[in-house]
Amino acid sequence: MNPDGNASKTPPAKGKLLIAAPFLSDPDFSRSVVLLCEHGEDGTVGFILNQLTALTLGDLQADPSLYMTPLSLYQGGPVQPDTLHIIHRMPEILGGLEVAPGIYWGGSYEKLKEIVINETYQEADLRLFLGYSGWSEGQLDKEMVENSWLVGNATAELIFETEPHQIWKKAISSLGKNYSFMANMPIDPQLN
């Protein structure tokens, strides 16, 4: 957030959160919070933090050793939904690129398999995503002008310790008193 407290003026950047404006009507992003892992001239890549699926890692694996793995999977976005991505706070084990303090993207899938088989992980330390959210050059800038998104700071607490159904409200509230009222706005104000 900018020092003046105006989250709407904070530009998107790696390690920031895109918080869907209350009335964003896109069904892929309604009430979503996206962790930005790349943002630059070539476009933007991020992962929706609060769209938990009914699937687990075990549901995707042909490897019998991982068949019963209960790790939950999140829908990271509509782009390449057949790919698997990791957001974690375990750099000493998985590696990856630090996108915000203590928050890493990617890493070793072999190490992931190893810690899952040996049960040497805490589920609260990692999130697995199917697909990702992507914007081509200039596309996100246009959405920012349309006030589709607010920008906030990513924290490990929000990503790893908050229940998915609470992430959007908590992210909006973290922007300060000028925005916290939005956390209780109805999805469709005409139904109010």
Position 81 in a domain: yes
> Which of 34 and 117 is assigned the larger pLDDT?
34
Position 184 in a domain: yes
Position 1 in a domain: no
Give me the CATH number covering residue 62: 3.40.1740.10
pLDDT digits (tens, 9 = 90+) for 6-35: 455 789 999 999 999 998 889 999 999 999
Q: What is the mean pLDDT of residues 28-46?
A: 95
Query: Contact 61/67 with Cβ under 8 angstroms?
Result: yes
Q: State yes or no: pLDDT of 47 exceeds 60.
A: yes
pLDDT digits (tens, 9 = 90+) for 55-102: 988 888 766 666 667 889 999 999 999 999 999 999 999 999 999 999
Position 117 in a domain: yes
- Per-residue confidence at 5, pLDDT binned at 50, 70, 90? very low
pLDDT digits (tens, 9 = 90+) for 131-174: 999 999 999 999 999 999 999 999 999 999 999 999 999 999 99
**Structural domain of 97:** 7-191
Position 53 in a domain: yes
- Per-residue confidence at 190, pLDDT binned at 50, 70, 90? low
Average pLDDT, the chain: 89
Position 122 in a domain: yes
Position 100 in a domain: yes
Number of domains making up the chain: 1
**pTM, to two decimals:** 0.89
Over pLDDT 90: what percentage of the chain? 68
Position 43 in a domain: yes
